[in-house]
Amino acid sequence: MSTNTWFSALKKSAVAIVGAATMLSLASPAAAAQPQPDGEVGVQVIGGTRAAKGEFPWMVRLSMGCGGALYAPQIVLTAAHCVGRTGNNTSITATIGVVDLQDTTATKIRSTYVHRSPTYGTSTGGDWALIKLASPVTNVKPLKIATTKEFDTGTFDIAGWGDTREGANTGSRYLLKAKVPFVPDTTCKGIGGYYASLIPAAEICAGDLANGGIDTCQGDSGGPMFRKDNAGEWIEVGIVSHGNGCARRNAPGVYTEVSTFASAIAAAAARI
């Protein structure tokens, strides 16, 4: 993946935290090259700090180098660019229940099936996918997803095991977290260049335009962008998708707008 263009689109497959600036960078699939059959490593969190064990229990690390969130006891929600085509798939291992990837208490479950959004790569957008696990996770409450645009604004949280600086390609042993502000569609698209192809109905931008320094990055792809709802519970509003580099000024991360695809996600989950 080109560090100059973040695959020109796919930016969030692996999450990490950038050292000096402690920045979060999102790796996303925007302008992305076609992923490998079993997905590809993406971006990680830059400008973040370590998450505490149990703080985000629904966070999932996928063996192809992406992140995800537990959508249902036996289903993980991730990015379409992280996986191959829809169908039986036993090649992915989901790691759940730890923040340190070397923690031997982690729950590890193999995949059995993958559903890849049929609209991914089209003008409609849809960088999301579901991974069915061989057995349910019984000790973790799944992360709710937004079904309306009510929560598609404000300050969001991001987390992942991706790179801590652009171009590192190493990932992070520990789960890192950070906060990023919402960037309106008109502002994001108005940046031009890489962002001129933003799909406002399907994507949502977030990042510190003036200063940079906080973002998701390679290895973070597929992980959730989330915030609290009116009841004080975590809710997923975005999926790490792509971006122009990691944590650059005037270059926000681009996330799949979950509320746009909530009904399609629910329907697919019911089928698998």
Q: Is the pLDDT of residue 255 over 50?
A: yes
Q: Which of the residues are catalytic?
A: 81, 127, 221
Q: Which domain holds residue 115?
A: 49-271
DSSP 34: P
Residue 17 lies in a domain: no
Instruction: Evaluate whether residue 236 is within a structural domain.
Output: yes
**Does residue 70 lie in a domain region?**
yes
CB 43 within 8 A of CB 198: no
Backbone phi, psi, residue 41, to 5°: -70, 140
Q: Is residue 35 part of a domain?
A: no
Asked if 28 and 221 count as a contact pair (C-beta separation under 8 A), the reply is: yes
Rounded distance between C-alpha atoms, residue 148 and residue 37, angstroms? 32
For 107-150, the pLDDT digits (tens) are 999 999 999 999 999 999 999 999 999 999 999 999 999 999 99
Q: How confident is the model at residue 10 (pLDDT cuts 50, 70, 90)?
A: low
Q: pLDDT band for position 167 (50/70/90)?
A: confident
In this structure, is residue 18 part of a structural domain?
no
The number of domains in the chain is 1
Q: Name the band, by pLDDT with cuts 50, 70 and 90, for residue 252.
A: very high
Nearest to 96 by CA among 130, 40, 47, 138: 138
22 within some domain? no
Q: Does residue 28 form part of some domain? A: no
- Determine, yes or no, domain membership for 11: no
Q: What is the CATH number of the domain that holds 187?
A: 2.40.10.10
